[in-house]
């Protein structure tokens, strides 16, 4: 398990170099974690503005996970997508056609461009240093975002989506992009990925297909990639599913990765969390281990630790109190870890 005392907090300008190092490790397809200092600087500035109260459409809140003073993970939240430009997806559908003259029935899978998730919140950019995977670091980083949403519920609508990175082969090649994107844009996947980070998907959507794509016209490897996540995305998919996300048949317009969706109030971390006031700091005996958060906007902090409570008392362990800088009388939101 990842060490108690690890803290999730809003990112700041001091995190630029650490985020750049994480971005270089993450590779292609992590559009919310670009390996470019200039763009990361812009993201940090936009996140700071959003947390300061400038709630523009498309604002991105960037969080980092810190262990022993070192940034080891990151994740982001978009309170609302589809404001500055539409949020594009392909919806997987079925088309059944019948010829009475030939006595034949044709059933085809089609991909239709849609904007079904405009106005939804989005979580993305989840990345934890490889050495910490399998140690609950991803769970802590991911679920801290949902506690942030619970603490700032008026900032968000009813739904939240998450686009999982689509399938790529061992050479970083996206079969879906090769079969569809390249033919419309004449760009390498890497270049399209760069443009989407810098200019937004509107640039790509301007030149994209406006009519349904028949899946049976695509090469086999491209068709098989539809709705499949990247080999490194299995854990992220499991975390989303465990939290209450589901696949509703929409995919990313670049790499055909699945778009997962959930009702915010049904997320486990939102639905099952409770708010308590700290009455004591000390050993918690057999009390449960929780993910807890405190503080609003720029002061938000989340960490894992032990608590104990009854009808009259809510006690937090010294380690958790230190991580969250808690004092007697402070308000804490917590959920079973």
Q: How many Å apart are CA 42 and CA 16, to the nearest integer?
A: 10
Token couple for 318: 């010294």
H or E segment and range at residue 220: helix 220-225
**Cβ-contact 30, 23 below 8 angstroms:** yes
DSSP for residue 2: P
H or E segment and range at residue 66: strand 61-67
Phi, psi of 248 (to 5 degrees): -110, 10
Nearest residue to 126 (alpha-carbon basis) of 230, 248, 278: 230
Q: How many Å apart are CA 83 and CA 192, to the nearest integer?
A: 21
Token couple for 212: 């349904």
The residues, any chain, with a CB within 8 Å of residue 103's CB and separated by 6 or more, are none
Catalytic residue among 230, 237, 322, 334, which?
230
Beta bridge partners of 124: 76
The residues, any chain, with a CB within 8 Å of residue 182's CB and separated by 6 or more, are 188, 189
* Residue 152: active-site member: no
Residue positions annotated with a catalytic role: 230
């Amino acid at each position: 398990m990842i060490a108690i005392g690890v803290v999730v907090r809003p990112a700041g300008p001091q995190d630029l170099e650490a985020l750049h190092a994480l971005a270089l490790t993450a590779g292609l397809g992590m559009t919310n974690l670009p390996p470019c200092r200039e763009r990361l600087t812009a993201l940090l500035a936009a996140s700071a503005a959003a947390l300061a109260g400038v709630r523009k459409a498309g604002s991105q809140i960037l969080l980092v996970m810190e262990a022993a003073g070192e940034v080891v993970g990151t994740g982001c939240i978009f309170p609302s997508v589809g404001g500055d430009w539409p949020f594009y997806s392909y919806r997987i559908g079925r088309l059944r056609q019948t010829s009475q003259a030939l006595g034949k029935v044709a059933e085809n899978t089609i991909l239709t461009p849609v904007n079904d998730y405009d106005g939804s919140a989005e979580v993305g950019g989840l990345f934890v240093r490889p050495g910490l995977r399998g140690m609950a670091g991803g769970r802590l980083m991911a679920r801290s975002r949902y506690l942030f949403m619970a603490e700032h519920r008026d900032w968000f609508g009813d739904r939240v989506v998450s686009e999982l990175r689509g399938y790529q082969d061992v050479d970083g090649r996206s079969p879906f992009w090769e079969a569809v994107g390249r033919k419309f844009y004449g760009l390498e996947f890497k270049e399209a990925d760069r443009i989407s980070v810098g200019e937004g998907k509107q640039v790509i959507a301007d030149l994209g297909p406006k009519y349904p794509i028949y899946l049976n016209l695509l090469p086999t490897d491209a068709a098989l990639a539809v709705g499949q996540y990247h080999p490194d995305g299995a854990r992220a998919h499991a975390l989303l599913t465990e939290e209450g996300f589901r696949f509703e048949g929409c995919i990313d317009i670049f790499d055909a990765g699945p778009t997962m969706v959930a009702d915010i109030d049904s997320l486990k971390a939102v639905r099952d969390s409770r708010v308590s006031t700290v009455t004591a700091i000390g050993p918690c005996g057999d009390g449960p281990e929780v993910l807890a958060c405190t503080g609003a906007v720029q002061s938000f902090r989340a960490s894992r630790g032990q608590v104990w409570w009854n009808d009259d008392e809510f006690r937090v362990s010294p380690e958790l109190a230190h991580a969250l800088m808690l004092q007697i009388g402070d308000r804490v939101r917590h959920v079973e870890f």
